[in-house]
Structure 1
């Protein structure tokens, strides 16, 4: 995780805006690149002091370098791209690594060797940091690229209908513009490494050969990324002690929402407001028993898979994903049981029905409805590995020290005649104080407070989407930020679902929260949501934005985030004298500048 630390030094010619822009650009660079810039800047400063003129940093010739660009919403694409860059540098290749929004689009016409790692979000959307580049490449202004050699790795989740569609579209578009592929399009599901590892090998081998043919100089000493100060990571999580686990909705609420506090003492883990905490879950034991009953398999039977032998019950409980449907499982179930109806669901013309099944069903529902005979080894090969769950952090270390707080909506409901659970949320709900949970920090560079504490911020977070804004408010209060803070919060009922009500009221009283607008959708005959409040207060909202406020949205990507974005467009049209296209373009500019940030899932 790269953290840009601004030294406390006098900088009379560097105003807040310049400092914010500089910090924004630096966040997309690796440690090796930051050290190079530091050395280059020092040399330039010395030259200026001697009466010379600072010279631009050499970008390198396009034909003799490998450019790696990533677009990432949750950090996976960034992680793979950084691994790819490190492997390339270790092989002696001249590599530059850029986040998609830091890539100079004008350079695409001259680019010669490009590797693109990009995720697909929600219902077939690019990650926020890649929206501009995606639109540019997809649009009419994209240049012809007859000299480009490229490869695209798409990341996605086949639990969603539009699996890897952004990567697929970019791969097809770059070829349409005249580029030639260094490697075939890579399509990685949640089990990213299974696809990413061979793709990286092939792409790097081809890039190495093409760069050698182009006469690129090999580096004798590759750059090395400085390791993080903490030894704990996604692959080696820290066992955090549970300090508190408190229900923060009323007993009669239809949902169970928990405030969970964990200790990071002694871990060396650090986070910033806007980051996420990864939690490695295990599946509810009751659900495992339901699977064994439906499959008529013996949970104590040892099963060997990927050179590991474990009892089937342990495979299902600790190692495999059994709460989320995905295309591969549905296809395998249709084949195993000869279910033509299920197979037809996977046809392109059935996309709406397929999406409805993914949204409404869990695998256990289909196992019961479409019986089949499974061999344990075949079953495990069909199921995806159990993946960590990411939760927006609801605290600031400036306020809580070596702790991390979460706001967790527990997935526990009745459907299709039985109880349905979520893997991580059920684990968190049942965790007692002093228990241990395996966790890690997932950096979210694009969801950061403004570097200039005098800037106003607008936070839109219905439901558990309010979590990072609790962290924002703590950080702004403790750091003495002078900018105003405006929160839009929504949920079902005021009396039972007003998360952190006492804290928000106290913040209004002490002046750390300047405005709070609420929307409780089930308290009146006419449902009211946060986007309705945006319309109601459009004039003032637009004035804040025009005066430089930063805007943040957190929560559901499928419905809320889209509705909020549409409401923002309406507000800009109504109060900014702009057309819908102009309003959308302005919001796009705010996204590029980091003044409009979204943490949606």
Structure 2
């Protein structure tokens, strides 16, 4: 008898008529067919959305909490959720800003997967959760067993700083650590996969599996392999155009890439992942500085490649990391380098201003080819905010790219991916994938106003937003704050913004060209100039978006928004912080920062 709680009376009647008179074999086949439909529909849903309405923690249940800025921690947490659920274990998945903190005292098994932003800060969706956990209101947790996985970037001094603090705090609150905190660098899977194996094995020991085995259904028509980070699509470059004028200090490119044949879908606000190739001149310089043989075969984990192949396609050369610096200082026996690494400020200076080849030349060390490849961090894809809406450009994706190129001691240096992309010509192929950014979406209600703050290449997603709002014929107003050094050379997409203003697709445009007058003017200054209107728009329901530099601009804009809330809303500082936190919790304050 089918439960009326799952089917309406009319659908219950249809099912009854369908099964009437069927023999046991037919009923068995039909059961498998419906199970397959159920599995496919469940897989299509985002576990994060399911988790948003999940119940409070139950006895013998695993809770997975994740915090993600660019989507990597979300991807790892969803994989952990799916693998655990497939074993028949009771598990729920919750994004950190959806987690009800009063439930923490009742948790018995908790896994946390979280990325670290910038200088040891939590991702935007985790700030309130982390503040609660590290604050005075966090409860004692003697009943809790836990494990923590951190995702970070060892080119920053405070590598996985947030998750290190969370791990220590849970132990301080009396919880039992199941195994050591995982700290994954940009080559995420090398740490995340072993951590998952341990975590799943621990969950199996602690939780009882369901008595009824989960039925498996083999689809009649398997789907082709989906394009992903590990299975990128070789796309064709359509356009590579400089959009800064002569005399600019910046080389900004507008890149257009064909998605023809990829079956890739994206939305305004998503990012494009690109797997770059190192510059041949840089690979040669590294090899020559160590007097190594480019053709030497090196085998790692059963994979054999030449040294040149490893360095060109599989190892980071433009970004230093603290683990490599420590290993190099030891091999070079350099007291000076060791001293620099042991001081946060001097380490930060090294990481920000030096590349691998600089260290190899300044502090010679006898690296052999195999040891060098093992010591270097695996090459990771770069993510770029997409500068187009599929509603406007069909089977294409556009990027706004700053080509990083400079001189160091009379030698050229580059950014890995920006140099790779800038050097591509029409018809060249490049490996790409889509990285969803569900937290950086236009409002579902197109009558809502939007305020977009994006200086420099941070304007990229807002080009996509304006295109999408135009295609939607959205009723809400669009207000853009853009900044760059000079009006005459650095006004990115100037004619597009002027046309959008004329056509009514852009309602306000505030510009901050910082070097065109004696006193520097930035986007946060323009926000203050229009403080009353900014506050009124927000109070009337507007969504606020910020894209660009995380360590300076985004922080300054956040402080300015707090200041506006205090002056225009008559709030004190704590009330202003709560106001901004509430906007973020409602999805009305979103940042895409890097």
Does TM, normalized by the shorter one, top 0.5? yes
Q: Secondary structure at the match of 1:329?
A: helix
C-alpha separation in 1, matches of 2:576 and 2:213 = 50
TM, length-normalised to structure 2: 0.89
Out of 275, 278, 284, the position equivalent to 1:280 is 275
- Report the equivalent of 1:7: none
- The verdict on how the C-alpha distance between 1:535 and 1:556 changes in structure 2, with shifts beyond 3 A counting, is same
Out of 440, 448, 457, the position equivalent to 2:450 is 457
Residue 120 of structure 2 corresponds to residue 124 of structure 1: yes
Contact 1:242/1:433 (<8 A) preserved: yes
Checking the alignment, whether the CA contact within 8 Å between 2:513 and 2:522 is kept in structure 1 is: yes
Q: CA offsets, 1:403-458, max 9 Å, x none?
A: 10000000111123311111111111111111111000000010000000000000
Aligned-residue offset at 1:303 = 2.1
Structure 1 residue 32, shift from structure 2 partner: 2.7
Could you tell me how far apart the structure 1 residues matched to 2:187 and 2:539 are? 43
Q: Residue 36 of structure 1: CA displacement?
A: 11
Cα offsets for 1:81-134 (capped at 9, x unmatched): 111112112222111111111222221111111111001000111001111111
Q: 1:171 aligns with which of 167, 173, 180?
A: 167
Match of 2:303 among 308, 312, 317: 308
Q: Deviations over 1:233-253 (max 9, x none)?
A: 111001111111110001221
Deviations 1:128-160 (A, max 9, x none): 111111111111221221111111001100001
Does residue 386 of the first structure (1) align with residue 379 of the second (2)? yes
The alpha-carbon distance between structure 1 residues 419 and 494, as it changes in their structure 2 partners (threshold 3 A), is same
Give the Cα–Cα distance (whole angstroms) in 2 for the partners of residues 237 and 533 of structure 1: 41
Distance 1:518 1:35, change over 3 A: closer
Q: Verify the 8 A CA contact 2:60 2:206 in the aligned structure 1.
A: no
Aligned to 1:91: 87
Q: Identify the residue that residue 32 of structure 2 maps to in structure 1.
A: none
Contact 2:69-2:124 within 8 A present in 1 as well: yes
Deviation at 1:223, TM superposition (A): 9.1
Distance in 2, matches of 1:551 and 1:444, equals: 16
Question: Residues 248-287 of structure 1, C-alpha deviation per residue, up to 9 Å, x if partnerless?
Answer: 0012211111001111112111001100000000100111
2:581 is equivalent to residue 588 of structure 1: yes
Q: What's 2:42 paired with?
A: 32
Alpha-carbon spacing, 1:229–1:581, altered in 2? closer, same or farther (3 Å): farther
Q: CA deviation at 1:397?
A: 0.5
CA contact (8 A) 2:56 2:103 kept: no
Q: Report if the CA contact (8 A) 2:481-2:523 is conserved.
A: yes
Query: Alpha-carbon deviation of 1:197?
Result: 1.5
Q: Is the 8 A contact 2:57 2:106 kept in 1?
A: no
Q: How does 1:422-437 map to 2 (within 5 A)?
A: 422-437=415-430
Count of residue pairs the alignment pairs up: 550
Question: Contact between 2:146 and 2:176, CA under 8 Å: does it hold in 1?
Answer: yes
CA shift digits 1:17-59 (9 cap, x unpaired):
xxxxxxxxxxxxx96377699xx9xxxxxxxxxxxxxxx9883
Partner of 1:351: 344
**Matching of residue 259 in structure 1 with residue 254 in structure 2:** yes
Which among 333, 338, 347 is matched to residue 338 of structure 1?
A: 333
- Runs of at least 5 residues in structure 1 that lack an aligned partner in the other structure: 1-29, 41-55
Cα gap change, 1:35 to 1:397, in 2 (>3 Å):
closer
**Residue matched to 2:31:** none
- Counterpart in the other structure of 1:19: none
Question: Matches of 1:61 and 1:254 in 2, distance apart?
Answer: 55
SS of aligned partner of 1:98: strand
Partner Cα separation in structure 2 for residue 35 and residue 285 of structure 1:
43
SS in 2 for 1:62: coil
The alpha-carbon distance between structure 1 residues 555 and 61, as it changes in their structure 2 partners (threshold 3 A), is: closer
Identify the match of residue 523 of structure 1 among 511, 516, 529. 516
Q: Structure 1 residues 498 and 210 mapped into 2: Cα distance closer, same or farther (>3 Å)?
A: same
Alignment partner of 2:484 out of 474, 478, 491: 491
1:229-268 correspondence to structure 2 within 5 Å: 231-268=226-263
Please tell me whether residue 206 in structure 1 is matched to residue 202 in structure 2. yes
User: Equivalent residue of 1:357, what SS?
Assistant: helix
Alignment of 1:149-188 (within 5 A): 149-188=145-184
CA distance in 1, matches of 2:502, 2:232: 39
Q: Which residue is 2:55 aligned to?
A: 59
Cα 1:233–1:592 change in 2 (3 A) is same
Aligned partner of 2:73 among 74, 77, 81? 77
**Could you tell which deviates more after superposition, 319-328 or 101-110?**
101-110
SS in 2 for 1:345: helix
Q: In the alignment, which of 320, 331, 341 is matched to residue 325 of structure 1?
A: 320
Shift of 1:230: 6.8
Assess, with a 3 A threshold, how the Cα gap between structure 1 residues 60 and 544 changes in structure 2: closer, same or farther. Answer: closer
Ranges in structure 2 where 5+ consecutive residues have no aligned partner: 1-39
- In structure 2, distance between residues paired with 1:224 and 1:236: 25
With over 3 angstroms needed to count, the CA separation of the structure-2 counterparts of 1:339 and 1:219, relative to structure 1, is farther
Q: 1:395-410 maps to which residues of 2 (within 5 A)?
A: 395-410=388-403
Provide Cα deviations, 1:310-343, integer angstroms capped at 9, x if missing partner.
2211111111110001001101110111011111
1:447 to 426, 437, 440: 440
What is the distance in 2 between the residues matched to 1:302 and 1:398? 48
CA distance in 1, matches of 2:46, 2:111: 22
Contact 1:488 1:517 in 2 (8 A): yes
Contact 2:141 2:174 in 1 (8 A): yes
The CA deviation at 1:200 is: 1.0
Are the equivalent residues in 1 in contact too, given 2:57–2:63 (CA < 8 A)? Answer: no
Q: Tell me the equivalent position of 2:5.
A: none
Deviation at 1:176, TM superposition (A): 1.3
Of 305-314 and 166-175, deviating more is 305-314
Structure 2 residue matching 1:32: 3-state secondary structure: helix
Aligned to 1:291: 286
Q: 1:143 to 1:328 in 2, by over 3 A?
A: same
Aligned in 2, Cα 1:316/1:35: closer, same or farther, shift over 3 Å? Answer: closer
The alpha-carbon deviation at position 344 of structure 1 amounts to 2.0
Q: Which residue, 109, 125, 149 being the options, matches 1:113? A: 109
Question: 2 CA distance for matches of 1:267 and 1:304?
Answer: 33
* RMSD (CA atoms): 2.1
Report the Cα distance in structure 1 between the residues aligned to 2:217 and 2:528, rounded to whole angstroms: 50
**Deviating more after overlay: 185-194 vs 495-504:** 185-194
Contact 1:72/1:118 (8 A) holds in 2: yes
Alpha-carbon distance in structure 2 between the residues aligned to 1:548 and 1:541 = 11
- Asked whether the 8 Å contact 2:148–2:163 carries over to 1, the reply is yes
Contact kept? 1:64, 1:217, Cα under 8 Å: no
